[in-house]
Amino acid sequence: MRKIFLLCILAISSFCGFTQPVPEWFTYPDSPTSGRFDDIFFVNDSVGWTVNGDGEIYKTVNAGKYWDLQLSTGDYFRAVEFFDENVGFAGSLFNKLYKTMDGGENWYDISDSLEIPFSGICGLSVADDSTIYACGIWYSPAYIFKSTDRGHTWEFINMNAYAYSLVDMKFTDKDHGFATGQSDDLDEGGVILYTADGGETWEVKTITDHPNDYVWKIQLLEDSITMFGAVANVSGGFSTRFLKSPDAGDTWEIKLVDDDYYYVEMCGFMNADTGWTGSYECLETFDGGETWHENTFGYNFNRFFKVNENLAFASASTIHVYADTNYVAPPDTIIDTTIIDTTVFINNMFPAHAIIDIAPNPANDFVSVKYTIDKYTTIDLSVFDISGHLLHRIYHGLIQQGAYSQTWDHDLPSGEYVICLHSNEGLLWKKFIVQ
Same domain for 373 and 306: no
Residue among 335, 333, 306, 342 at smallest CA distance from 322 = 306
- Tell me whether residue 12 is in a domain: no
- Tell me whether residue 13 is in a domain: no
Last residue of a domain, one of 345, 367, 401: 345
pLDDT on residue 357 = 93
- Tell me whether residue 427 is in a domain: yes
Q: What does the pLDDT average to over 331-357?
A: 56
Compute the mean pLDDT over every residue in the chain, rounded to the nearest whole number. Answer: 90
Q: How far apart are CA 141 and CA 303, in angstroms?
A: 22
Same domain for 214 and 72: yes
Q: What are phi and psi of 271, to 5 degrees?
A: -155, -170
pLDDT digits (tens, 9 = 90+) for 211-246: 999 999 999 999 889 999 999 999 877 899 999 999
Percent pLDDT > 90 in the chain is 83
Q: How far apart are CA 421 and CA 232, in angstroms?
A: 14
CB 137 within 8 A of CB 93: yes
Sign of CA dihedral 25, 28, 29, 34: negative
Q: How confident is the model at residue 351 (pLDDT cuts 50, 70, 90)?
A: low
What are the CA-CA distances from residue 420 to residues 175, 181, 388, 416 (Å)? Answer: 38, 18, 11, 13
pLDDT on residue 10 = 43
Same domain for 338 and 359: no
Residue 394 is part of a domain; what is its CATH number?
Answer: 2.60.40.1930
In the DSSP assignment, the letter for residue 98 is E
- Using DSSP bridges, classify how beta strands 377-385 and 366-373 pair: parallel, antiparallel or unpaired: unpaired
Q: How confident is the model at residue 56 (pLDDT cuts 50, 70, 90)?
A: very high
- Tell me whether residue 327 is in a domain: yes
Same domain for 211 and 145: yes
Residue 133 is part of a domain; what is its CATH number?
Answer: 2.130.10.10
- Tell me whether residue 6 is in a domain: no
Domain count, the chain: 2
Its domain, for residue 289, covers 21-345
Residue among 25, 5, 132, 10 at smallest CA distance from 81 = 132
Query: Does the N-terminal peptide bond of residue 360 adopt cis geometry, omega within 30 degrees of 0?
Result: yes
Buried b (16+ CB within 10 A) or exposed e, 397-422: eebeeeebeeebebebeeeebbbbbb
Same domain for 355 and 302: no
Last residue of a domain, one of 290, 321, 345: 345
Same domain for 388 and 282: no
Question: Which residues are CB-neighbours of 331 under 8 A, at least 6 positions away?
Answer: 325
- Tell me whether residue 272 is in a domain: yes
Q: How far apart are CA 208 and CA 346, in angstroms?
A: 25
Query: Does 25 score more than 50 pLDDT?
Result: yes
Query: Does 7 score more than 80 pLDDT?
Result: no
Question: Which residues are CB-neighbours of 128 under 8 A, at least 6 positions away?
Answer: 173, 174
pLDDT on residue 124 = 99
- Tell me whether residue 58 is in a domain: yes
Same domain for 127 and 58: yes
pLDDT on residue 193 = 99
User: How far does CA 116 lie from the centroid of its chain?
Assistant: 26
Neighbour tally for 99: CB within 10 Å: 18
Same domain for 213 and 238: yes
pLDDT on residue 13 = 44
Same domain for 383 and 270: no
pLDDT digits (tens, 9 = 90+) for 127-158: 999 999 999 999 999 999 999 999 999 999 99
**Starting from the edge strand earliest in sequence, which strands make up the sheet with 311-315, in order?**
24-26, 319-323, 311-315, 303-308
Same domain for 174 and 58: yes
Q: How far apart are CA 52 and CA 77, in angstroms?
A: 5
Same domain for 215 and 143: yes
Strand, coil or helix: 332: helix
Strand, coil or helix: 6: helix
- Tell me whether residue 420 is in a domain: yes
Last residue of a domain, one of 345, 373, 399: 345
Same domain for 296 and 393: no
